[in-house]
A and B are shown apart, each in its own frame.
Chain A
Amino acid sequence: MARPHVIPTGIERQFGDEEIIVSKTDTKGIITYANRVFERVSGYSQHELLGQPHNLIRHPDMPRCVFALLWSQIMSGGEIFAYVVNMSRNGDHYWVFAHVTPSFDDAGKIVGYHSNRRVPERKAVDAVIPIYKALCAKEAAGLDPHAGMIAAAELLKTVLEGQKVCYDEFVFSL
């Protein structure tokens, strides 16, 4: 299925405080399961989501270095939390507090990834937005996408060192 070219509308969507957006992917990030909340908030039907890469809902305001951190964390078997802004099918966006974990088989091998996304605290979103803006600016200023992302990752590291916390702690502190 050809990916539709979506233009951000700037309109933020909300979902229920007690709702969880659930999705599962294979080890390559291809969606293998999406729950009803996912369908409703993203505006995509399950049929449209299955078999697609998870970055289908990627919003341009998200720094790539955050996803790089996310992937490096879960590929090594760990969990990760991240504040993520996603984009709906029509260009609206919605903030989530994403928890991504690997799924293991009985032998302990990673067979896929699982993501639960919840409504984030507003103050956490407000704290994250300027940081993400700075990271995106760093990435945009790079000579090439890779160099930009390295620079942004360095900036994120500097921000965390300034707070004297590790990434996980920082995320929970917001």
Chain B
Amino acid sequence: MSTLTAESTLHTATSAPPTDSTLETGLLELARVCEAAARGNLEVRALTGPTDGPLSRCVDAINHLLDITDAYVRESSASLDAAAKGKFYRRVILRGLPGSFRNGARLINAGTEEMKNSAAALAAARARQDQLANEFETTVQTVVNSVASAATEFEATAKSLADQSHETTERAEAVTSASQESSASVDSVASAATELQASAAEIDRQTQQSAQLIHSAATEATRTDAVIQELCKAQSRIGSVVKLIHDIASQTNLLALNATIEAAHAGAAGKGFGVVASEVKALSKETAAATDNIETEIRALNKASTEAAAAIARISKAILSVNESTNLISSSIAEQKGATEEISRNTQRAAQAVVHVTRNIAGVNTAAHETGVSVTLIQDAAGELSRQAERLCSSVSAFMNNIRAK
């Protein structure tokens, strides 16, 4: 920016007073300087030759004006530039700036002072804001941390609850299956008891039937005994008759013998008679032999009847014994019936108890299942709480970073 070109023109007139021509040249140069300055070029200056005279005074005045203006522009620009960078100590130097320049400079300095105060207030506010932000962050962080740890604890508790509920379910299932087994056992006991009752009833029936049979057998035995007694009496009577026949046969034999003897006495006349007597004698002998046979038979019959009577007696005794046994069986059967009924009643109570247990266990199972569902919800909630706490934490951090002075 070579504007200091007046040197050549003005320096030529150092010794002599300016001529019209040099005056004109000088004025034109001053005009050129002023025009350049008016375009904003504050570097231009008129270089002086003479130190006196109107032209020299014009040159000095214009240069001075330019110096002051230049100083004002440099000072105000530098001061505002520095203030913009926070260097508020850089004020416009008033010294050497007259009148309006000084007033303007004072306004600028007042503005800078105001900026300085505002900046200080702003810095204090920011420091306070930072402090509040730190305090707030610490508080929120503490809260978030305790929420997070509570959520973690919550999750852990929920997990343990879930484990417990799972175990409860498993145990309830085990109890259910055990009670189902019990139920089956009770059922089979009940059916066994029923069968036992039926068997006992059958035994009872058969025992009664046996008793009847025994009774009729006893009756028959008594009757048979009577028949045998009659038979014995008949045999005695037959014996008497046979003895009578035997006596008759003996007397007949004696008579035949007498007749034979008589016939022999009678000789020939008696010969026929003798033959008859021999015949009679033979018959009586046969009769005697027949009665001997009968006696033998009767004795055998008698012996058989006695044996039959003894057998009947033994039978009666046996029947009595059987009867006693049957009675014992009946009373045992009655006891067994009572016991079986007791078993049946107990079995029914057991069955009812099993049903009760099954129903309760179903309730437990449902409750455990519901607990499991609730626990899942709790776990979800705890997880969500945990995530929310983390989000809150990062949001607060981000917010704090935004709030803090940068």
Contact = CB atoms under 8 A, between A and B. Distances in A.
Do A and B belong to a common assembly? Answer: yes
Interface of A: 17-20, 22, 24, 32-33, 35-36, 46-47, 50, 79, 97, 99, 101, 103, 105, 111-112, 114, 116, 118-119, 168-169, 172-173
A35 B1 contact: no
Which 7 pairs from chain A and chain B are nearest by CB?
A20-B96, A22-B67, A118-B95, A33-B45, A111-B1, A172-B89, A32-B4
B95 A17 contact: yes
B99 to A, nearest CB: 11
B32 to A, nearest CB: 16
Interface stretch (B70-78, B147-155, B345-353): B70-78
A50 B60 CA distance: 16
A59 B64 CA distance: 27
B17 interface: no
A173 B74 CA distance: 21
Contacts of A172: 89-91
A19 B96 contact: yes
A174 B11 CA distance: 41
A168 B87 contact: yes
Interface in B89-121: 89-91, 93, 95-96, 98
Interface string B25-48: 000000000000000000101011
A35 B93 contact: no
Contacts, number: 67
Contacts of A119: 95
A116 B45 contact: no
A18 B64 contact: no
B4 A18 contact: no
Contacts of A22: 67, 70-71
Given A20-B71, A114-B70, 8 more contacts: A18-B96, A32-B4, A33-B45, A36-B60, A105-B1, A112-B43, A118-B93, A172-B89
A17 B94 CA distance: 11
A32 B14 CA distance: 18
A8 B96 CA distance: 28
Given A35-B64, A103-B1, A168-B90, A18 B95 contact: yes
A76 B351 CA distance: 107
A17 B97 CA distance: 11
Given A112-B43, A169-B89, A18 B74 contact: no
Given A20-B67, A20-B71, A50-B7, A33 B89 contact: no
Nearest to B48: A46
Contacts of A35: 63-64, 67
Contacts of A33: 4, 45, 47
Contact of B78 (A19, A24, A36, A101): A101
A101 to B, nearest CB: 5
A114 B4 CA distance: 13
A33 B6 CA distance: 11
Contacts of B98: 18
A108 to B, nearest CB: 13
Interface in B55-69: 60, 63-64, 67-68
Contacts of A169: 87, 89
Nearest to A169: B89
A119 B94 CA distance: 12
Interface string B116-141: 00000000000000000000000000
B95 to A, nearest CB: 5
Contacts of A24: 4, 43, 45
Name, among B67, B68, B89, the residue most crowded by chain A CB atoms within 10 Å (CB to CB).
B67
Nearest to A99: B93
Contacts of A17: 95
